[in-house]
Amino acid sequence: MKIKSLDHLVLTVKDVKISSDFYVNVLGMEKIVFKENRIALKYGNQKINLHEFKNEFEPKAHKVMPGSADLCFIADDDITKVIHHLKSLNITILEGPIKRTGACGEIISLYIRDPDLNLIEISNYL
């Protein structure tokens, strides 16, 4: 077997509304509702499904916990424009811009935290 791509991942969050607002307003993702009451955040050809802590859907990870993820997103906008956008929303940049290695080569990255304190890396390929 050979895996082709990542379709979606699940984040366990304290508050689905607060988290979905962050990912929509800060990172420009699209909030979608599926199966009547499930929330996902769509971007490109992928999505993030949100599970509310202590009210997760089955099956789920063995030890779910808000704030345990470390995610890297590739931005369409230049990293300098991303910085300006984050500063306009009073989002603290923890580190960066700094060179890192992405899945397909060298990237320039910066780091922020989402409402659950997950580490969010926003990058451009160099």
Contact (CB, 8 A) for 41 and 47: yes
97 prior amide bond cis, ω within 30: yes
Active-site entry in 56, 95, 106, 121: 121
Q: Which tokens sit at 108?
A: 């320039």
Contact (CB, 8 A) for 48 and 23: yes
Is 121 among the catalytic positions? yes
Alpha-carbon distance values, 78 to 82, 108, 110, 120 (Å): 6, 10, 12, 17
Catalytic residues: 121
